[in-house]
Structure 1
């Protein structure tokens, strides 16, 4: 019998190699399967938001992947995350969002939370997760969104150095009014190499989200 896999739905191709590398560190030997749906993110960016239609098609895509022999599925894109939540209500396979553990940690570490992004479409879903986490924890938080749009232009032009520099500069400004900052996109994490002078905690989603998924996957396999 084929062993059930830990499945992923990505919207950025480079995330496949990045998560394979992290799996190699956190859970070597774990069978994984990746699905790339960059079309969903592109459409959301073109529309300027996660429309009802894109959200519905995201849910359909996630359910389809989850039911192809997956023990658990992890959605690694914040923009389409609400569609993954919808999918979780329609399949017996557990569906997780990459940013949820980060949101829970942020709420536990401060009440003034900066939400940094280079894509405006990721702000709403990430802020909603933070609000949910705060309500669950019984805490009141103030969310401060910050979009570094110029960084996205650098990334699209292939200027990674410029991309991370603009993010790092933006984080320094955001940190002045916050107890903790969350990065709404996994692709922003390399900028942290330039942020050693920032004393405010800056949280990223990939490793914490994957660690939570691996823990859940192991529990499911042990029980089954």
Structure 2
């Protein structure tokens, strides 16, 4: 059996090369097992995230039965549902946007949340409030029109350009931090010109689930 550093559950195959590149850059030697189940997001958008819990449990139980390793769920819409299954699975389950949310609430009180699908807003805003605890937050929601359609069509560059333009359209007085709610939006952070800090989830999420990596032979 191949050793696995973490199981990653995606709802789009476009996430696989993104996380492999992050692994190669930041966590050399870590082994990732990717599961791609697009129908989970499709159903959650129609019926709500809780509706996919049984199917999600079945998928993840099969994965961790082969290797009892942590799970990282890269879909923000179903992230909270996935985390709730950790006791039944017997392994840690982390939604990819939780470390980003913690960094966001540490950066300021005014949050501008950008998303390309409407279903992402509720779980993301709930997560920010959870991470903030008793600290008051001001959260504004900004849907990026047309971006998700471009992503689904395979036009990743077009999707990211629209997200970056939406971030740049925000005035500094509107927000202390911009939160890119979906992992698919992360590349837009490299395109923005705004002075407002822009946070994305993939690198932080992967680092959190893999933890400190052991030194390779010959390294101190």
Residue 15 of structure 1: CA displacement?
Answer: 1.0
The alpha-carbon deviation at position 173 of structure 1 amounts to 2.9
Distance, in Å, in 1 between the alignment partners of 2:27 and 2:163 is 30
Name 1:141's counterpart in structure 2: 137
Q: Which sits farther off after the overlay, 56-65 or 145-154?
A: 56-65
> Any idea what SS the aligned residue of 1:70 has?
coil
CA shift digits 1:78-114 (9 cap, x unpaired):
0111221121121221111110000000000000011
Which secondary structure does the structure 2 equivalent of 1:64 belong to? helix
1:72-221 aligned at under 5 Å gives the runs 72-135=70-133, 138-176=134-172, 177-196=174-193, 198-215=194-211
Partner of 1:34: 34
TM-score, length basis structure 1: 0.86
For the residues of structure 1 that align with 2:154 and 2:13, how far apart are their CA atoms?
15
Unaligned runs of at least 5 residues, structure 2: 215-220
> 2:115 & 2:125 partners in 1: Cα distance?
11
- Tell me by how many angstroms 1:207 deviates: 0.3
Query: RMSD value over aligned CA atoms?
Result: 2.1
Partners of 1:114 and 1:143 within 8 A in 2: yes
Give the match's secondary structure for 1:90. helix
Greater fraction of residues in helix: 1
Q: TM-score, normalised by structure 2?
A: 0.87
Q: Which runs of 5+ in 1 are unaligned?
A: 219-224
Aligned length: 213
